[in-house]
Structure formats: structure tokens, C-alpha cells
Amino acid sequence: MQIFEYNGSALVAMVGKNCFAIASDRRLGVQLQTIATDFQRISKIHDRLFLGLSGLATDAQTLYQRLVFRHKLYQLREERDMKPETFANLVSAILYEKRFGPYFCQPVIAGLGDEDKPFICTMDSIGAKELAKDFVVAGTASESLYGACESMFKEDMEPEELFETVSQALLSSVDRDCLSGWGGHVYVVTPTEVKERILKGRMD
Amino acid sequence: MKLDTSGLESAAPVWGAPSELVDGFSAAPSFEVPNTTDFDGFQKEAIQMVKPAKGTTTLAFIFKEGAMVAADSRASMGGYISSQSVKKIIEINPYMLGTMAGGAADCQFWHRNLGIKCRLHELANKRRISVTGASKLLANILYSYRGMGLSVGTMIAGWDETGPGLYYVDSEGGRLKGMRFSVGSGSPYAYGVLDNGYRYDMSVEEAAELARRAIYHATFRDGASGGVASVYYVGPNGWKKISGDDVGELHYKYYPVLPSTVEQEMVEAAAA
């Protein structure tokens, strides 16, 4: 099987009205065998910036550790948190450093920028940024996710409706993928709060 | 070389033409073969293209009251789930079941062919064919196609004069008699549960629950198994479908979600 499909993953981020949602599946597998059903794919960089990493799990963990390190240095030097756009540039640069021996990951970055404007973007494994105004997807279930998001997305959704939309899109897409699923993890972030929810999904 | 249509021809011998049935042995089944320069290379490519990875979980076992047969219902093409509602337990005749693992087309065709041959045996010999005989018929046919890329991993379970019978037959030409079998990518997980919970003297309900549980555990761990866990019972009066439960719902029945204590309290949002 291919290297990107070794562990299996599904990630989606969606923009709403002054808020965003980022969601992932919870499976960690070794090809067809399921090893864990509580794997964390989304990590917080700071209160208004979240990073999801799909693809090979070992590269996702290492890349995440390197990015946290760089962000902490930035915080010490600049005495403030990184803006999402800046962080996306940082991730892109770090991925391109390894152009001829890449990290087998596809990051999804979601954050609230200046004036609480939501920002989402995804990248391929060598750092090509894809900015989107509505939604971004990554992982083994990405094709199903594109279809589901395209049909379910509406502009300017409130946080509750955004949560429902993202959850339905994620669950219906992973139900068509052997390598991802086994539950869902959704973060809905507004300027005042972060709501983390675990989804009850099909465990097959 | 022509398609094997011996099952469709009438038994009455045509004047002048030697009948296959009169000979005692039927002629080797044959399919048309393509005209290519490199036949072996072409065959290899064709086999690789059609070779599905036996992504499934099926199991069958014999116990005091008869035989139990169970299977999942997922069909996968690589990573994509093409269907969650495939019938993997094939009803050969009212007292014999076959399971499907491997190529769906191969299993469906050859099981139906086996059903035809069993019926012909009944008509010719005025008695039902035994499970031993039926599995041997299928095994011989599959052996003659050995190396040509058929993918069949099936179990034949039935009830005949000697009681319940269970055979494992595959496209490599193997045929094994046994009391417990599981076939497919999810079989290691099913074996774990099946071997642990098996006792010869179980009631029909206990055996059905064991089969259901084994399929459920396989669908949980194996990515290529899922959908609906079907359980069939084969008794002295033939087979009967006991249950077809969606494994998504079975999970929450076996492991209900309990309200848990809050792990992290909400914190005041940092001033923007």
C-alpha cells in the first residue's frame, strides 16, 4: 500500500461566521489493522490557531514537535502569538526544506486572524499552500470529503450549525473509507471560546 | 474451447453425439482463451488486475445442534468502500450454505454452478447430495482452474444424513474438513473470539451470539470488514437466517457510552 495510506486519516476544516471548525477521525491503523481508536490528529498551537496533520503518523508527530518548538521561540522573541498566515508560511518553509526527502504529511491549518477573521489552508507534503475561503480537506477520505463538503457547505454559518455540517460531512465521508473513521473529533473555535466535541460514529 | 454449459443441457442423449453424462466423467470445463503474442504476461496482468484482497470476514462452525455460519457485508476496492450491503452467505439449496470471500463474481458464479450440479445429482440418484460430495465437486472444479486467477475462499456448510458437515474450499485447490473455520482479512480477529468462546454443547442462541460477537470484533479491528453481521443456522430441517445486525449499532450495544466526569474545566478566554 502507498505510504500516505499506511496509517489512514481524515481531516476537514470549515469557515463560518467569525468562527471556524476543524475536525478529524480518531483511527490509527497499520494498513488494514486498527491499532487505536483515540488518536489525536489535531493539536493546538495557541488559543486561536489549530493544526491538523494527516498522513504518516510518525512524520505527523515529528513535524508537530518541530513546529511547536519554532512557535515557542517566536513567542519568546516577539512576545506575542503567531498569526495564522505567518504560521502557514512557516509550515510551508519547513516542509520545503525537506523537498528531496519529504515528511509524508498533509497539514491543515485553521486559525482566527486579525479582527477575528477565520483563516484556513492546507498544503501538500512539500509545502504548496492552498488557501480557501470555504473548506479544506486532507487524508485518505479526501475525495469523499470534497464531495460532502461541497454539497453541505453554506456561507456564514453560526457555530452550532457549522458544527452540525462539519460533523455530518466527516462521518458520511469516513463511512466510505476503510482506513479512517472509528469516531470523530471536532473543534469549533469562536473569538471567545473553543468547544471540543467527540463524535459517536460507526466503529467498523 | 467453449463455456461449460453442462448444467444447462438436458440429460437426454442426442442421437449420434456422445453424451457427457453417459461417459461417467464430465469433460474438463473450458473457457475461451485470448489470442496474444505473450500469453503468460497477459495472464499475469489479468490476474493482478482482478485479484481482490479477500477483504472480508466469514466464519462457520459445527456444534451440538448443527452448524452456524456468519459473515460481514462490506465490499472494498483498495481503500474505498464500494458497498456495505453485500450478501456473502450464498444459499446453494435449502439445506446447504456457501460463504463468499475473494472475488464476488467468482464466488457467485461457482456457487450457483455448484447448486445446479447438486440438483442434477438429486435427480439422477433420487437422494440429496452429501456435504462431502458437494464440497468435492466444487474443489475439483476450482483445482482445474488453478493458476488462472480465480479468487475463491469459501466454506460449504450443510446438513446431510450423517449430520452437520463443514468444509473449507479455496481457489488454490485446497479442501479441508473441520469443526471451525474463518476466512478473510478479518479472520485472525474472528478466530480469537471464536476459539475462546467455543464449546461443543452450546444452545442455538449461545452459538448465534458467539458468531455475531466474533464478526463484530473482526469488523472493529479490520478495515476491510464491516456493515451488517449476518448469522445463519443450519439444522436438520435446513438453514434459517437468525439475525442481521448493523455492526455500528452492535458496538454501542456491547459498549454503551457512559456519561464520564469532566476531565478539563473550561478556562477564562484570554483577553483578545
Backbone phi and psi for residue B184, each to the nearest 5 degrees, phi listed first: 125, 175
Percent of chain B residues topping a pLDDT of 90: 60
Q: Mind listing the pLDDT tens digit for each residue in B193-228?
A: 999 999 999 999 999 999 999 999 999 999 999 999
| DSSP H or E segment with residue B259 | none
DSSP secondary structure string for all residues of A59-75: HHHHHHHHHHHHHHHHH
Which residues from A are below 8 Å from B252, CB to CB?
Answer: 200
Residue B241 is assigned to a structural domain of this protein: yes
Find out whether A180 and A27 touch, Cβ atoms under 8 Å: yes
Position B33 pLDDT exceeds 90:
no
Residue A8 is assigned to a structural domain of this protein: yes
Position B22 pLDDT exceeds 60:
no
Q: Residue B168 sits in a domain of what CATH number?
A: 3.60.20.10
Which residues from B are below 8 Å from A176, CB to CB?
Answer: 80-81
Position A38 pLDDT exceeds 80:
yes
Which of the pair, B108 or A43, is modelled with greater confidence? A43
Find out whether B131 and B160 touch, Cβ atoms under 8 Å: yes
Q: Which of A9, A198, A204 to mutate to test the interface with B (most CBs of B within 10 A)?
A: A204
What is the least distance, in Å, from the CA of B153 to any CA of chain A?
Answer: 19
Position A72 pLDDT exceeds 80:
yes
Indicate yes or no: CB of A47 within 8 angstroms of CB of B221.
no
Indicate yes or no: CB of A179 within 8 angstroms of CB of B251.
no
Indicate yes or no: CB of B248 within 8 angstroms of CB of A32.
no
Position A86 pLDDT exceeds 80:
yes
Among the partner residues A32, A47, A193, nearest to B224 by beta-carbon distance: A32
Number of Cα atoms under 13 Å in the Cβ half of residue B173: 7
Q: Mind listing the pLDDT tens digit for each residue in B221-238?
A: 999 999 999 999 999 999
Q: Mind listing the pLDDT tens digit for each residue in A120-172?
A: 999 999 999 999 999 999 999 999 999 999 999 999 999 999 999 999 999 99
Rounded to an integer, what is the distance from CA B108 to the centroid of its chain?
Answer: 9
| DSSP H or E segment with residue B158 | strand B153-160
Which residues from A are below 8 Å from B72, CB to CB?
Answer: 204
Specify whether B56 is catalytic.
yes
Chain A contact residues (CB < 8 Å to B)? 5, 8, 29, 31-34, 47, 116, 140, 175-179, 191-193, 200-204
Residues 6+ apart with CB under 8 A from A194: A44, A47, A187, A188
What is the pLDDT of chain B when averaged over all its residues? 85
pLDDT of residue B37: 81
Among the partner residues A32, A179, A192, nearest to B269 by beta-carbon distance: A192
Q: Distance between CA B58 and CA A59 in Å, rounded?
A: 36
Indicate yes or no: CB of B55 within 8 angstroms of CB of A178.
yes
Q: In which domain, by residue range, is B174 found?
A: 51-254
CA distances from B94 to A150, B99, B243 (A): 48, 15, 17
Indicate yes or no: CB of A5 within 8 angstroms of CB of B55.
no
Residue of A nearest to B83 (CA): A176
What is the least distance, in Å, from the CA of A137 to any CA of chain B?
Answer: 17
Residue A34 is assigned to a structural domain of this protein: yes
| DSSP H or E segment with residue A142 | helix A142-152
pLDDT of residue B14: 46
Find out whether A67 and A51 touch, Cβ atoms under 8 Å: yes
What is the pLDDT of chain A when averaged over all its residues? 95
Q: Distance between CA B186 and CA A33 in Å, rounded?
A: 9
* Lowest model confidence (mean pLDDT) among A48-52, A169-173, B12-16: B12-16
Position A81 pLDDT exceeds 70:
yes
pLDDT of residue B267: 62
Which of A85-94, B27-36, B52-61 shows the highest mean pLDDT? Answer: A85-94
Which of the pair, A123 or B18, is modelled with greater confidence? A123
Position A3 pLDDT exceeds 70:
yes
Residue A204 is assigned to a structural domain of this protein: no
pLDDT of residue B1: 56
Q: Residue A105 sits in a domain of what CATH number?
A: 3.60.20.10
* Mean pLDDT (whole number) for A36-63: 95
Helical H runs in A79-140? 84-97
Backbone phi and psi for residue B244, each to the nearest 5 degrees, phi listed first: -140, 95
Residue of B nearest to A199 (CA): B257
- Cβ atoms within 10 A of the Cβ of A154, count? 10
What is the least distance, in Å, from the CA of A129 to any CA of chain B?
Answer: 26
For chain B, how many structural domains are there in total?
1
**Active-site residue among B37, B56, B99, B162?**
B56
What is the least distance, in Å, from the CA of B180 to any CA of chain A?
Answer: 23
Q: Mind listing the pLDDT tens digit for each residue in B241-270?
A: 999 999 999 999 999 888 777 666 666 665
For chain A, how many structural domains are there in total?
1
Find out whether B113 and B7 touch, Cβ atoms under 8 Å: yes
Residue of A nearest to B54 (CA): A32
Residue B90 is assigned to a structural domain of this protein: yes
A–B interface: beta-carbon pairs under 8 A:
66
Indicate yes or no: CB of A204 within 8 angstroms of CB of B248.
yes
Instruction: State the cell numbers at B41.
Output: 504476461
- Cβ atoms within 10 A of the Cβ of A121, count? 21
Which residues from A are below 8 Å from B248, CB to CB?
Answer: 201-204
Q: Mind listing the pLDDT tens digit for each residue in B145-181?
A: 998 888 899 999 999 999 999 999 999 889 999 999 9
Find out whether A82 and A49 touch, Cβ atoms under 8 Å: yes
Which of the pair, B16 or B127, is modelled with greater confidence? B127
Indicate yes or no: CB of B248 within 8 angstroms of CB of A202.
yes
Indicate yes or no: CB of B223 within 8 angstroms of CB of A34.
yes
Residue A175 is assigned to a structural domain of this protein: yes
* Mean pLDDT (whole number) for B133-138: 94
Q: In which domain, by residue range, is A194 found?
A: 3-199
ipTM passes above 0.85: no
Q: What is the CA radius of gyration of chain A?
A: 16
